[in-house]
Structure 1
């Protein structure tokens, strides 16, 4: 039996970089990178592709000196900006409507939140849980680390434990302790609203840890001492609190991101509309006649206007890319693993 907690294997790797095909560059593009930089990267790629096709693709650059192509390009951009921003703002209102409701609903939400806090406090033997998400999650992670170290100490203090059971528990606990130390350090000092909080929570592969912990316990429940079994139960119990807490903070973060998208589009929509309107009403390709390094000035300017015009779409796409990627990675809660890379050969009924 192997937890592979400290391994970089695709099957059960703890870090997102090891679980994502393509490694760190793809991970940066999907979720970790600053969304404005990601949007800028997409715009640069679109600009380069357009200029490259315009310069070296089949066709004639002479078409740019006619008004129809420019009109045909930028008119849909104006329509798309107006409709797109309106739809996003409408969707934003639908998301925020979940925050509105009668006092009974609000009181029930408060009661559920307080009940969860009390249960978590009892599980990790603390009196008052902190209000900040990063500190709350870090407390859960550090509690699993403490239980893992206690397991290792119990193994060392009892020489009569059967060797195979000792090795399985030691491997599980040691991997969990190492991973908890790393994630707790990542959570320290993080402020909610930044992706780093969600990122650190995603790094903690709690689903696999619950599954592996239950498998170790059930496989050796007849040979392990009661004290070791009790520590395993406590550890699994804390991991079961981590899942709902992560999902709750992830949901709040999604709402936060949607509001951020709406603000970003509100800022960029009018400048993008102004550029598109200028390209239709005023710009004449003949006014910028000439070439630079073999590239026609008209093509360069039209390409730049296109990039500015689709900036709202690029920003929207960069944020949605992160939201849908995180949502896909966290579709299941608890000891269920959906990603193909997480399926080990030893994941079977026992």
Structure 2
């Protein structure tokens, strides 16, 4: 962009089969489906290895002691961890009246800012519709900035027109990728990149370099754009908090359910083994062993699937403002 003022005109997009598959695995995919994929991979690998004779699972092997002691202890530990996570989530939703009023007032202030800039009497409660309103307002204000600077004299810096076009395109790209009534994590995905930070820096640079040469109305629109971009930064952090709290609450519940089943499966698999024989036909033992192990590792697979998403979201939302740590940059992957 001319005169060194650079904007991000579009939110990030995931291209390529490999990138889309990795994005589905660590962020976009349903966590239960991801867990099922991990469990299926474990079952398939162990079934192939046992059928090939690479693993000893017959009578007299270490499989019986592993099921009766190690896996039972691991399952109980994992369920305990999930309960600790549940306690952490509960601690976040409790608070004194003053603390709760502070949270409420902060949310109201964000909604008020967006409502005033959008010229609406109220803003939507649905996260997707709220972000869509923010994006539409950003595009509208950028178009107003362009109109306020277009006086026909031709002496306005080219950077102003380029900046306005870039911001308007950025708002349009957000609106294009939002689906109403979708999960909050899908809304967060749209603004998970660092484009907002680049546009905040571009707004500050444009204001400092050309503010004195802009009409008064254009300066007002530029201030409004800066405020709306700040709302995007705060919104992404707020949505991150809501998304992680929802995910960890689901995680503790699913791990508790699957942990009970896994514990029962561990005991059942331990009882399959006798001192010198097994209670199932030898030919069926690889399949029984693999399926039993799959059931037992299900709580761990669920835990890993949710941690994938939590870690990815946390990694890409390190900063609130225009500072972009290396971990948030696309080239840092």
TM-score by length of 2: 0.85
Aligned to 1:333, what secondary structure does the other structure show? coil
Structure 1 pair 45–98 and aligned structure 2 pair: CA distance change class (3 A): same
Which digits, 9 at most, give the CA deviation of each residue in 1:196-219, with x for residues without a partner?
222233268311211122223333
C-alpha separation in 2, matches of 1:343 and 1:50:
36
1:73 shift after superposition: 4.3
Given candidates 168, 173, 195, the residue that maps to 1:177 is: 168
1:334 shift after superposition: 1.2
1:322 shift after superposition: 0.2
Given candidates 103, 112, 115, the residue that maps to 1:118 is: 112
State the number of aligned residues.
Answer: 325
Given candidates 5, 8, 15, the residue that maps to 1:5 is: 8
The 5 A counterparts of 1:62-141 are: 63-66=57-60, 68-73=62-67, 75-141=69-135
Given candidates 265, 272, 280, the residue that maps to 2:255 is: 265
1:32 shift after superposition: 0.4
Structure 1 runs not aligned, ≥5 long: 7-12, 291-296, 345-350
1:145 shift after superposition: 0.8
The 5 A counterparts of 1:1-350 are: 1=1, 3=6, 5-6=8-9, 14-17=11-14, 23-56=19-52, 59=54, 61=56, 63-66=57-60, 68-73=62-67, 75-162=69-156, 165-166=157-158, 168-191=159-182, 193-202=183-192, 205-283=195-273, 285=278, 287-290=280-283, 297-339=284-326, 342=329
Structure 1 pair 299–44 and aligned structure 2 pair: CA distance change class (3 A): same
Computed over aligned residues only, the root mean square deviation of the Cα atoms, in angstroms, reads: 2.9
Structure 1 pair 298–85 and aligned structure 2 pair: CA distance change class (3 A): same
Name which of structure 1's ranges 233-242 and 115-124 shifts more when overlaid on structure 2. 115-124
TM-score by length of 1: 0.82
Aligned to 1:209, what secondary structure does the other structure show? helix
1:5 shift after superposition: 2.9
C-alpha separation in 2, matches of 1:326 and 1:266:
24
CA contact under 8 A between 1:150 and 1:231: conserved in structure 2?
Answer: yes
C-alpha separation in 2, matches of 1:343 and 1:225:
37
CA contact under 8 A between 2:262 and 2:296: conserved in structure 1?
Answer: yes
C-alpha separation in 1, matches of 2:251 and 2:63:
31
